Structure 1
Amino acid sequence: MIRFIASIVLLSLASSLQATTDKPNFIIIFTDDQGYNDLGCFGSETIKTPHLDQMAREGRRLTSFYVASSVCTPSRAALLTGCYPKRIGMAKGVVFPGNNHGLHTDEVTIADMLKSAGYATACIGKWHLGHREPFLPTSQGFDTYYGIPYSNDMNHPDNSGRKGIPRRNKSWLNQEEAWRAWKTPLMQDEEIIELPVNQRTITRRYTDKAIEFITANQEKPFFLYLPHSMPHVPLFVPEDAYDPDPQNAYKAVIEHIDAETGRLLDTVRELGLSENTYIIFTSDNGPWSGTWGNYKSHAGSADPLRDGKGTTYEGGQRVPTIMWGPGRIPAGTETNEIAGTIDLLPSIASIADLPLNTRGPIDGMDISGLIHGDDQSPRNEFLFYSRGGKLDAIRQGNWKLRMTTQRKKNPDKTPSVELYNLAEDMGESENLAEQFPKRVDSMRQQMKALDDEITQNIRPRGNYNP
Structure 2
Amino acid sequence: PLPLLRDEEVIQAQPDQRGITERYVEESVRFLRENKDQPFFLYLAHMHVHLPHYPPERFVRESENGVYGAGVACIDWAADVLFHELKSLGLDDDTLVIFTSDNGSRVHGEGGSNGPLRATKGTTWEGGQRVPCIMRWPDKIPAGKTCSELTLSMDFYPTLAAIGGAEVPTDRIIDGKDIRPLIHGEEGATTPHDSFFYYKRNAIEAVRSGPWKLHIRKDDQEIGELYNLETDLGETSNVFDQHPEIVRDLMAKIDACRQDIGDDAAGIEG
Query: Normalized against structure 2, the TM-score is what?
Result: 0.91
1:309 aligns with 2:127: no
1:433 aligns with 2:235: no
**Contact between 1:406 and 1:416, CA under 8 Å: does it hold in 2?**
no
Q: Which residue of structure 1 aligns with residue 251 of structure 2? A: 444
- Distance, in Å, in 2 between the alignment partners of 1:434 and 1:457 is 30
CA apart distance, 1:204? 1.4
SS at match of 1:308: coil
Q: Which residue of structure 2 aligns with residue 208 of structure 1? A: 26
What whole-Å deviation, never above 9, does each CA across 1:274-320 have from its counterpart, x for those lacking one? 2321111101111112xxxx2x12x5111111111100000111101
Pick one of 389, 395, 398 that aligns with 2:202.
Answer: 389
Count of residue correspondences: 263
Q: In structure 2, what residue type is equivalent to 1:214?
A: L
- Distance, in Å, in 2 between the alignment partners of 1:436 and 1:267 is 53
CA apart distance, 1:406? 4.1
CA apart distance, 1:340? 0.9
Q: In structure 2, what residue type is equivalent to 1:428?
A: E
Sequence identity (%): 39
Matches within 5 A, 1:14-163: none
RMSD (Å), alpha carbons:
2.0
- Distance, in Å, in 2 between the alignment partners of 1:275 and 1:249 is 34
CA apart distance, 1:190? 1.6
CA apart distance, 1:194? 2.0
CA apart distance, 1:233? 1.1
Q: Which residue of structure 1 aligns with residue 67 of structure 2? A: 249
Q: In structure 1, what residue type is equivalent to 2:237?
A: E
Q: Which residue of structure 1 aligns with residue 217 of structure 2? A: 404
Matches within 5 A, 1:211-222: 211-222=29-40
- Distance, in Å, in 2 between the alignment partners of 1:274 and 1:247 is 31
Matches within 5 A, 1:172-183: 183=1
Measured at CA, do residues 430 and 239 of structure 1 come closer, stay the same or move farther in structure 2, by a change above 3 Å? same
**Highest RCO, 1 vs 2 (Cα 8 Å, sep ≥ 6):** 1
1:417 aligns with 2:231: no
Q: In structure 1, what residue type is equivalent to 2:128?
A: G
- Distance, in Å, in 1 between the alignment partners of 2:179 and 2:258 is 22
Q: In structure 1, what residue type is equivalent to 2:130?
A: R
- Distance, in Å, in 1 between the alignment partners of 2:171 and 2:114 is 35
Pick one of 278, 283, 287 that aligns with 2:105.
Answer: 287
SS at match of 1:227: coil
Q: Which residue of structure 2 aligns with residue 329 of structure 1? A: 141
**Contact between 1:338 and 1:380, CA under 8 Å: does it hold in 2?**
no
**Contact between 2:62 and 2:70, CA under 8 Å: does it hold in 1?**
no
**Contact between 2:97 and 2:137, CA under 8 Å: does it hold in 1?**
yes
Query: Normalized against structure 1, the TM-score is what?
Result: 0.54
CA apart distance, 1:449? 0.7
Measured at CA, do residues 315 and 215 of structure 1 come closer, stay the same or move farther in structure 2, by a change above 3 Å? same
Pick one of 272, 280, 285 that aligns with 2:90.
Answer: 272
CA apart distance, 1:457? 9.9
Q: In structure 1, what residue type is equivalent to 2:119?
A: D
**Contact between 2:36 and 2:89, CA under 8 Å: does it hold in 1?**
yes
- Structure 2 gap ranges (5+): 263-267
- Structure 1 gap ranges (5+): 1-182, 408-412, 459-466
- Distance, in Å, in 1 between the alignment partners of 2:87 and 2:63 is 35
CA apart distance, 1:405? 4.8
- Distance, in Å, in 2 between the alignment partners of 1:326 and 1:236 is 34
1:233 aligns with 2:233: no
- Distance, in Å, in 1 between the alignment partners of 2:218 and 2:193 is 27
